[in-house]
Amino acid sequence: NKAMFDAYGVTLVESHEELIDVAAAFMVNRHRLPKGRGIGIPTSSGGAGGWTADGCAAAGLEVPELEAEARARIDKFLPPYGSSINPVDGTAQAIGLIGNSELTRLTALSERVHGIVGVTSAINAAAFLKEGENFPRVGLGLEKPICYWSYTRPSRETYALFAKSGWALSTNLRHSTRAMAAMCAYAEAKER
C-alpha cells in the first residue's frame, strides 16, 4: 500500500496529532509547494537548529550549505558567534534586530532552499507583533513553504497570528519536518 500511496502523493501519518499538524501545514502553504527538497533552517538557537537538521535528514529532506551570496546577505546581521551556513543561527541578537520574518526571508532567498523549517519560541505573540507588517508580508508573500516549530507552548494568540499571517506552526519538530517532506512528495507526485 505504501508504494501506491507514494506514487500518488498520498500522505500517511502516525497519529491524529501529526494529522492536524500536517493538514495545517498544507492549508497554510497550499499555494506554494516546494520545488525541491532543500530546506533552510532559520533559528535563534544553534542547538535547536541542529535538531531540526537531523529531523530533516530523517524525513528525507536535505539541508544544503547556503551559497556565498546568500550567506553574505545574512552575515550583515549576525554577531560573530552566529552562523549563516545552514542551519542559519541568527542567535537571539539577530532575531531582536531583524525579526524572525526577515531572517526567514533572507534564508529563503537562497537558490538552494526550496522550503523553510524554522525554529522559534512562540510563547508570546508580542515578539511577532513587534515585527509589524513584515511578519504577514513574508508569511503570505514568500513563494516557498514555511513550517515553523516552537520549543515552547504557543499562546492561542500566537497560533492565530501565525495562521492568518501564512506561517504553519507546530510544537513538534518531527511533525514539522514530516509535513515539509509530505509537501515535497505531493509536489513530486503532481509533477509526475
Overall average pLDDT of the 154-181 stretch: 95
Tell whether the model's pLDDT for residue 39 goes beyond 80: yes
- Per-residue pLDDT tens digits for 74-100: 999 999 999 999 999 999 999 999 999
Is residue 24 scored above 80 in pLDDT?
yes
Residue 71 has pLDDT above 80, yes or no: yes
Between 7 and 29, name the one with better pLDDT: 29
- Mean pLDDT taken over the chain: 93
The reported pLDDT for the residue numbered 19 is 86
Note the pLDDT of residue 192: 78
pLDDT at 22: 87
Integer Cα distance of 177 and 127 in angstroms: 24
The pTM is what? 0.94
Name the DSSP letter for residue 16.
H
Q: Which residue has the higher pLDDT, 187 or 7?
A: 187
Strands (E), the chain: 39-40, 42-43, 88-89, 115-120, 146-150, 168-170
Model confidence band, residue 5 (pLDDT cutoffs 50, 70, 90): confident
Region of residue 166 (left: phi > 0; alpha: psi -120 to 50; beta: else): left
Does the pLDDT value for residue 6 go beyond 80?
A: no
Question: Which among 184, 161, 151, 162 is positioned nearest to 49, based on CA atoms?
Answer: 151
Report the b/e string of 2-11 with b at 16+ CB within 10 A. eeeeeeebeb
